[in-house]
Every structure is written in structure tokens, then in C-alpha cells.
């Protein structure tokens, strides 16, 4: 069984690889590629559920996708991202929502978009046996505060706040930290300051690992952020396959004789 200890042990030896996945076939492919950590991100709201932000994603939505991913994963650590307002409002509810991802859906850990309010919550969850991946820098659930998705930690105060919160979450027992869209020199400093591994997205090369949204990596997304990189052309592949299917049906070349059969013993029904 994959554990958070494996992730901690790998850091410092080799870069940690992490990707999102939301469904069974994608999880299978990501797992077979030996990716260390699969994040069932609340980015599922953008990638798969047709929302403009992650805010409408519910615990039910996330749980459904976590179940699909964990049923299809053998080796990777499966991390469930906690949706907007599913944690932080009330401690008991937060723990119930997070615990459910492990108890019922097969996740091994949860990820929390962090702030001052998640320090004691992280400590409580870890005490109870729910491993926590912290997430600092750009936290997209704050889109209404930011008015968009700007880079974080770009001035001294902002950078110090991120470093302090990173230390606080390490002390509270988080097993790793995602740093999103922060200057690479800040990410390098935070990585140096912590014992737990940092996993960057738009945070430069000096983190202990990297994470991206799988739809962006394979080239399925219609749009992807500038800090992402497209390693494939899945959207184009799908477009051309679907175009060919439509043409084949319209021209009558599909289905061909081999795609159906007649029953010899049937008599005409009229
Ligand atoms: O939801 C998500 O995909 C994430 C990653 C980008 C870190 O939080
Ligand atoms: Na997320």
C-alpha cells in the first residue's frame, strides 16, 4: 500500500511526480506511468464539470471522483482535494468530510488550501490518522478575494507570510506542501526551510516535486495556464477521431458488415 512515508522518503533522492486524475481510465494510465501521487483535485470543477471556478464543487462531487480514481490505482498515493467550505467552517464537519475520503472512497490523504485557519485543523486531522498535504501560494478557492489568479508571495510581506504558514503546517504535521504560482526564489527558500517535501506548480525548478493538471499535460484542455506545459495533443486526437466517426456514419461506411450480424433463423416479422 502506498503511504505518505514513501513520498517523504523519495524527496531529496529524486523529484516527486504528481498529476491530477478524475476518472478511472486516466488514473490507470497515470498510475501505470509510475507517477508517485495522484491528486483528485477540485480542479475537476474546471476540467470535467463545466464550472468556471472550483467554488461550486461539492464533497459529493469530489467523493465520486476519488472513488473512481482509487478503484483504478494500485501504486500511486491518492490524495483527495477538499472542496471550498468543506473544511474550515466547523472542525467536526471538516474532519467528517476529510475522513470520508479515506473511509469510504479509498484516498490515502487529503489536501487543504491553507491559511492561518488550517494550522490547528491539520494537527487535529493528523492526530486522527488523516495525512494532510498543505497548499499555499495561489489558492484558487480565494478567487473572489484575488479577483483572478495572480501570482502570490511577490512582496516581502507576502513571501514571509507564506514561509511562516509553511513552517506552521510542517509543525502541525503536514507530510508535504504544494506551492502554487509563487516566485521560484521564494519556492527555493521555502523548500530549504522545510524538512517535508514541497511540490510546485508554477513555482520553478527547486521544489522537491512537480504537479500539473493532467488535462493540461496531455493537451485535452481548451485553455491552460502559462506555467503549465502541454506534452501531448489529446484534444486534436479526439477531434479527428470524432470527425471521422461523423463522416463514416453520414457516408454509410460505418457500420460495415463486420460490425453487426444477421440471425439466420429469424423469419420476417410481418
Ligand atoms: O485542484 C488541483 O488540481 C490542484 C493542483 C493544481 C495543485 O489543487
Ligand atoms: Na485544488
Alpha helices per DSSP H over the chain: 4-10, 24-32, 44-47, 59-71, 91-103, 119-128, 143-146, 156-172, 184-193, 214-218, 234-251
The string of pLDDT tens digits covering residues 186-223 is: 999 999 999 999 999 999 999 999 999 999 999 999 99
- The interface predicted TM-score of the complex, written ipTM, equals 0.99
Q: Is the pLDDT of residue 2 over 90?
A: no
Q: Which of 60, 105, 180, 250 is catalytic?
A: 180
Q: What is the pTM of this model?
A: 0.97
Nearest CA to ligand 1 atom 4: 41
Question: Does 268 show up as a binding residue in the annotation?
Answer: no
CATH number of 4-239: 3.20.20.60
Question: Does 104 show up as a binding residue in the annotation?
Answer: no
- Segment 4-9 shows an average pLDDT of 92
Picking from 25, 4, 15, the residue whose alpha carbon sits closest to that of residue 79 is: 4
Phi, psi dihedral angles at 173 (to 5 degrees): 110, 5
The owner of cell 469530489 is 62
Contact 221 CB / ligand 1 (< 6 Å): no
What's the pLDDT at 12? 78
Q: What span, in angstroms and rounded, lies between the C-alpha atoms of 2 and 34?
A: 12
> What does the mean pLDDT of the chain come to?
97
Phi, psi dihedral angles at 81 (to 5 degrees): -80, 135
The string of pLDDT tens digits covering residues 15-30 is: 999 999 999 999 999 9
Amino acid at each position: 500500500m502506498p503511504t505518505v512515508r514513501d513520498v517523504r522518503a523519495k524527496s531529496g533522492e529524486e523529484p516527486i511526480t504528481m498529476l491530477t486524475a478524475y476518472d478511472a481510465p486516466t488514473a490507470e494510465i497515470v498510475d501505470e506511468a509510475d507517477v508517485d501521487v495522484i491528486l483528485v483535485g477540485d480542479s475537476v470543477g474546471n476540467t470535467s464539470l463545466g464550472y468556471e471556478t472550483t467554488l461550486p464543487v461539492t464533497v459529493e462531487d469530489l467523493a465520486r471522483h476519488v472513488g473512481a480514481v482509487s478503484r483504478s490505482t494500485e501504486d500511486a498515493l491518492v490524495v483527495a482535494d477538499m472542496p471550498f467550505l468543506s473544511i474550515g467552517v466547523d472542525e467536526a464537519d471538516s474532519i467528517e468530510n476529510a475522513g470520508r475520503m479515506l473511509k469510504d472512497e479509498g484516498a490515502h490523504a487529503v489536501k487543504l488550501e491553507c491559511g492561518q485557519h488550517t494550522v490547528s485543523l491539520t494537527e487535529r486531522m493528523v492526530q486522527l490518522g488523516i495525512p494532510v498535504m498543505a497548499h499555499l501560494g495561489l489558492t484558487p478557492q480565494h478567487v473572489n478575494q484575488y479577483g483572478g489568479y495572480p501570482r502570490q508571495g511577490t512582496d516581502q510581506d507576502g513571501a514571509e507570510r507564506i514561509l511562516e504558514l509553511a513552517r506552521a503546517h510542517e509543525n502541525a504535521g503536514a507530510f508535504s506542501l504544494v506551492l502554487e504560482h509563487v516566485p521560484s526564489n521564494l519556492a527555493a527558500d521555502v523548500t530549504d526551510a522545510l524538512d517535508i517535501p514541497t511540490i510546485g506548480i508554477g513555482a520553478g525548478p527547486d521544489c522537491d516535486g512537480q504537479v500539473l493538471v493532467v488535462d493540461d499535460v496531455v493537451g485535452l484542455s481548451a485553455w491552460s495556464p502559462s506555467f503549465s506545459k502541454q506534452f501531448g495533443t489529446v484534444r486534436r486526437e479526439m477531434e479527428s477521431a470524432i470527425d471521422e466517426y461523423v463522416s463514416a456514419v453520414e457516408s454509410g461506411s460505418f457500420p460495415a458488415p463486420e460490425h453487426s450480424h444477421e440471425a439466420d433463423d429469424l423469419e420476417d416479422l410481418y
